A and B are shown apart, each in its own frame.
Chain A
Amino acid sequence: MRRFFDEIFVWAKFPSLVKEGWPRHKENGPLPLKAWPGWFVQQPIIGGLNQPPRLGPLRRLRGIFLMGAATPPWLRRGVLFAALWLSSSLAFGQSPGTSHPDLSGYWELRYDSFNVQAASLTPQAAADQANQRRRDTDAVRWCINVGVPALMGDRSALDLRQSPTVIGMVAKAPSSVRYIYTDGRPHPDKDDLDPTTNGHSIGHWEGDTIVVDTIGFNDRGVRSIPGGGLRTPNSHLTERYRLLEGGQRLSVTFTWEDAGVFQKPHTYEFRYYRVRQISEPRVFTCNPNDAERAKFLLDER
């Protein structure tokens, strides 16, 4: 530990080394080295005249910060303060209060996510597909909160906001805000859990991926699952969120498990595109008493 501090404070102990370095170097002619710029300080002092500098990592760092004696003090201090500002900005510029990637932003689905592989359905679920489409249309017609998975497939951009303890998601379609708790809490006991269209979601980080576990769905809203099947109170959804392409894409892999609906877990991926800021209200004002809209929707089915 003492050696560490000696290394750091050596310039304070022997400031004359720094002061004398550059003039002595000039007296002995130019350096034959191309690799080390002139401002890389103490080469004549530490390495010997016209010798390649043999500096430890800390001394190199110190050398960069302090520069040569010929460097004006205001420039030395300016570089130092800029480096400190940058280091603190980087240290605190992650997701607020954490070192995890920040998924916050506006995320839009495009056509490349809509060709989902068909799910392997139980015979009962396969037979119920047409009925489910009718129930979904009714939910849309009456402006019921669509819930998951329809919320995640909204054609308008999702607004995703990440804090150290919770992630919030808002879709434009009629829906509740979806909350994913990342504060380490478990799912509530079954008796305490009030089923909702979005279910109860908890997440944990595995490297740069957040793994989200959701249970506690109800039987309201738009329940069809991309690729086939439907969300039920027994559904269990696992999602894996990961930023790609320098943060310009968000990959979300969905895996649905429900023994009454799927013969094996049903997995598909959505890739969201980051879009620029949105100022318009992310709300579709839905009027269940709009007869014309109702007729249009019911005729469609």
Chain B
Amino acid sequence: MRSRSIELVAMLLCWCACANAQATPDMSGMWLVQDPGSGNWADWFNNVPKPALRPELIKDNDAIAAREAAGAVVNRAERLASCPFGNLPMMMASSPPLNIVQSRDEILIGAEANRGRFIYLDGRGHPDTRSPDYVPTGFGHSIGRWEADTLVVDTVGFPARVCDSRRPVMLTPGGGRAKETTHLIERFRLIEGGEMLSVTFTWEDPTVLLAPHTYSYKYKRLAGALPIENNDDPSDPAYQQRQLQSVIPPPQK
């Protein structure tokens, strides 16, 4: 009699455990990154614990800063069809809200209405990112898995170079780089009753960093928000002119 009861309780616990294991948190919705008030993009982007950069990277960053101080603040690189699309570190830090659609096998993260990242949860591995068949994008190739209520995302396959005359490689917060040798681990978790999303980033790349670089962002849920569509019109001469205009106003004389 007693053993039967124990068996019954064990079965119920098993059922509940199965149910919980499959009922992962739903992160779908629009999420706005919470900037504590950095004042400008560069300060916000670098408002993270300082990474342990390799000495050559520090020199390279100093050279970029010197070029920008000398006026090289406009991207004059030709926009070729071969230019890698997207920029993961910038998208995850930018003000257009993340727009997440979470299905069982794949998570789509757009920036407002713009297309963005795909995180595969269907058990596939990374492709051979050194193969000529692999087309790198600025979002890399991401696969994810659930660890209890946390989504752990593993990303590799960033492009070696990007089409930017100011800095031809993708910058990560704090002055690091995302490139073909870089490995990113993100941990997504809903907090504060599902009203906030916490994402912890850990960048690893022995050619860039002396130690893994970790920082976190918080995103606030925007209930009922409408994504805004990018209405850029490249046929508009005013748009073309804006592409060659610095976002830093010239000094007043």
List the interface of chain A (C-beta within 8 A of B): 11-12, 15, 77, 80-81, 84-85, 87-89, 91-93, 95-97, 102, 104, 138, 142-145, 159, 161-168, 170, 175-177, 179, 185, 188, 192-194, 196-198, 200, 220, 277, 279-283, 285-290
Bound: A118/B11 CA distance, A: 60
Q: A12-B1, A102-B104, A198-B113 are in contact. Are A84 and B81 (CB under 8 A)?
A: no
Bound: A286/B85 CA distance, A: 10
State the main secondary structure of chain B at its contact with A: loop
Bound: A179/B101 CA distance, A: 9
Q: Is B82 an interface residue (CB 8 A)?
A: yes
Q: Is the CB of A89 within 8 A of B22?
A: yes
State the main secondary structure of chain A at its contact with B: loop
Q: A85-B14, A188-B226 are in contact. Are A92 and B23 (CB under 8 A)?
A: yes
Q: Is B234 an interface residue (CB 8 A)?
A: yes
- Which residues of B from 187 to 226 have beta carbons under 8 Å from A? 224, 226
Give, as a whole number of angstroms, the nearest-CB distance from A6 to chain B: 15
Picked from B8, B19, B26, B113, the residue with its CB within 8 Å of the CB of A88 is B19
Task: Please indicate the chain A residues that have their CB under 8 angstroms from the CB of B116 in the complex.
Answer: 177
Bound: A126/B25 CA distance, A: 50
Bound: A87/B17 CA distance, A: 12
Bound: A60/B18 CA distance, A: 25
Q: Is the CB of A15 within 8 A of B108?
A: no
Q: Is the CB of A170 within 8 A of B115?
A: yes
Give, as a whole number of angstroms, the nearest-CB distance from A90 to chain B: 10
Picked from A88, A185, A220, the residue with its CB within 8 Å of the CB of B18 is A88
Bound: A87/B78 CA distance, A: 57
Q: Size band of the B side of the interface?
A: 35 or more
3 interchain residue pairs of minimum CB distance: A168-B101, A88-B18, A163-B28
Q: Is the CB of B115 within 8 A of A177?
A: yes
- 8 pairs, CB–CB < 8 Å, chain A vs chain B: A12-B1, A77-B7, A95-B103, A159-B106, A163-B103, A175-B115, A196-B113, A197-B229
Q: Is the CB of B118 within 8 A of A290?
A: no
Picked from A92, A197, A277, A288, the residue with its CB within 8 Å of the CB of B234 is A288
Task: Please indicate the chain B residues that have their CB under 8 angstroms from the CB of A179 in the complex.
Answer: 99, 101, 113, 227
In the complex, per-residue mask of B120-132: 1 if CB is within 8 Å of any chain A CB, else 0: 1010100100000
Bound: A11/B229 CA distance, A: 64
Residue of B whose beta carbon sits closest to that of A163: B28
Q: A85-B18, A163-B28 are in contact. Are A12 and B229 (CB under 8 A)?
A: no
Residue of B whose beta carbon sits closest to that of A105: B105
Q: Is the CB of B229 within 8 A of A198?
A: yes
Give, as a whole number of angstroms, the nearest-CB distance from B18 to chain A: 4
Q: A159-B108, A280-B135 are in contact. Are A138 and B235 (CB under 8 A)?
A: yes
Give, as a whole number of angstroms, the nearest-CB distance from B106 to chain A: 6
Give, as a whole number of angstroms, the nearest-CB distance from A139 to chain B: 9
Give, as a whole number of angstroms, the nearest-CB distance from A133 to chain B: 17
Picked from A170, A177, A281, the residue with its CB within 8 Å of the CB of B137 is A281
Q: Is B114 an interface residue (CB 8 A)?
A: yes
Q: A163-B28, A196-B229 are in contact. Are A283 and B137 (CB under 8 A)?
A: yes
Q: Is the CB of A142 within 8 A of B81?
A: no
Task: Please indicate the chain B residues that have their CB under 8 angstroms from the CB of A89 in the complex.
Answer: 18, 22
- Which residues of B from 101 to 158 have beta carbons under 8 Å from A? 101-108, 110, 113-116, 118, 120, 122, 124, 127, 135, 137, 139, 141
